[in-house]
Each structure stands twice: as C-alpha cells, then as structure tokens.
Amino acid sequence: MFNAFFEKLKNGLSKTKDGLTDRIGEMLNLYVTIDDELYDELEEILITSDIGVETALEIINRVRIKVKEDRIKQPSEVNNCLKQVLIEMMDSNEENSLISKTPSILLIVGVNGVGKTTSIGKIAAKLKNDNKKILLAAADTFRAAAIDQLEVWSNRASVDLVKHQEGSDPAAVVFDAIQAAKSRKVDVLICDTAGRLHNKKNLMDELGKINKIIEREFSEAQKQTLLVLDATTGQNAVQQAKQFMDVCKVDGIILTKLDGTAKGGVVISIKHQLNIPVKLIGVGEGIDDLQEFVPKDFVEALFE
C-alpha cells in the first residue's frame, strides 16, 4: 500500500520535480566549485518554483551552513544537502493525523473554485474506508451549486447529508447536522462553509455563529478548521491563507491540484511562513487521490 501511495505521490509531483529538483540537478552539474554564483542560481530556481523569497533565503542560508559543517567540496553533493535541509524544515513533531479522536467535527473553509466541495467528498470517502461513520453538512447555502455538488459527492461516497434550501442560515444547517450526528452516533461531521473572502466581515460573523453553536451543542467533539488551497495559484495561496487566518483560527491546510502544477514548492512556503500543518494533499482526480501529507515522503518524491 505504501509503495502504491508513494508512486502516486511521485507521479503527482512530476511537474514540480521537472521545474525544481531536476533543474537544480542540471544546474549543479555545470559548476566545478561551490561559490556565491552557485548559491545565487540555486536561490533563483527556488524563487521561480514558487517557494517564495523569504523561504528561499532561509533554505539557502541553511544549505550554506550545512555545506560548511559537512565540509562538502563537490557541487553535486549540494543536492543532498538541500534535500536534508528541506526535510528538517518540513518535518515537525506536531500531530498530523486528520482525526485523532471521535466524535470530530471538521469545518472546511476556502474560496470558491479551490476544490473545497470535491475535497470534502474525498475526505468522506477516505474516512468511511477507515470504518468511520460520516455525516456531511451543506452549510455553504449561498451558492446553490455547492449544495448540489455536495449531494453528488455524498452519494458517491455513500454517506448521509444534511441540507436546507439555498439562502438559508448556515448556522441552522450546522445545528441540525449536529443533532443528527449525535442521534446517529456519527464519528465525524464534515461541514462545508461559505468562501466569500471578499466580504471578510460577513464571513467572520458567519463562522463565529457556527462556532458558537458547535461549542454549545457539540462541545464533546474535537473541532478543526481546515483551509482548502489550490496549489496551482502558488504564492497567491499563501496570501489567501494569511487572509483566512485574519478571519478565523486555521488548524490545518488541504492543498489541492498538486498534480496539475509546477508550483508544488508552495508546500514548503506554507510550512515555513505560516507554520500551519498541511494535513492533506491532492495528487489526482480520483476519489482516493487525496493523501495524508507526510513531509519526508514529499521531499523524497521530489528528489527520486
């Protein structure tokens, strides 16, 4: 199973590998000595791979120190130094599993178009395969398509859905979903929420109302707010995350469409700049292509 997942990860990251680690390998082969010019070129490749200036500078600084400490003289060996630095930067001891206790409630936030509803469907299918009892709540009530899409995914994953009419109060949907989750002894309640980031005040009020209901009606549940970001938007995804962090506490990131972009380096940037765990990554269109994010596997897949 691990090998199958790793192969899928490698295939999903092929565009990022072409634009990042393969380019670095080719560049290092052109150098005879490790000098400032080499580091400048390495920095440029990192920045153009959407790792971001701040993160790229930190990586270069750490690589320089490691090269000095390990007394590395061959430019080709810088590649392995870079790999070790990335693993150190990405890996942490924090709890990274999606569900560590039940009952759990997941609030899924993110702007329209990032793959929010699709991610919810895939999470539902993934958790159901782990023998969890799942319920979905269609609390993105301002977009009729969101309710319909979630219904399609609930059918596909064979899980129940609580929904109201378009335009109804999202907090009322969550209230009803919590009552249903408790009476049906559901393990995980997953709530789709609105993604109207252009109107922060409304979104903040709405999420505040939903959170109050969760605290009052479902205090025994472990609550997480997960933000869905589209990897193809690169550094814009980091900016989007910062805007959401102004509105609500974000416990984890779901990064979609990694297979469709050469900007997969944004994962490194998210970890370094935001210090929020990336919980899941999307590396394909299939229902089982949303994988738990393991930093070491991610780096290994880039360098294989």
Instruction: Indicate the annotated binding residues for GTP.
Output: 110-117, 192-196, 256-259
Residue 290: how many CB atoms within 10 A of its CB? 26
CB atoms within 10 A of CB 72: 16
Per DSSP, 230 falls in state: E
Beta bridge partners of 256: 230
**Spatial contact of 273 and 55, defined as CB atoms under 8 Å apart:** yes
Instruction: Look up residue 66 and give its two tokens.
Output: 């490691």
Most distant pair of Cα atoms in the chain: their distance? 69
Residues β-bridged to residue 109: 227
In this structure, are residues 207 and 215 in contact, taking their beta carbons and an 8 Å threshold? Answer: no
Sheet holding 290-292: strands in order across? Answer: 160-162, 134-138, 188-192, 104-109, 222-230, 252-256, 278-282, 290-292
Strand (E) or helix (H) holding 253: strand 252-256
The span from the CA of 251 to the CA of 279, in Å, is 9
Annotated binding site: 110-117, 192-196, 256-259
Give yes or no for a contact between 286 and 256, defined as CB atoms under 8 angstroms apart.
Answer: no
Whether 160 contacts 132, CB under 8 Å: no
CA-to-CA distance for 295 and 97, rounded, in angstroms?
Answer: 12
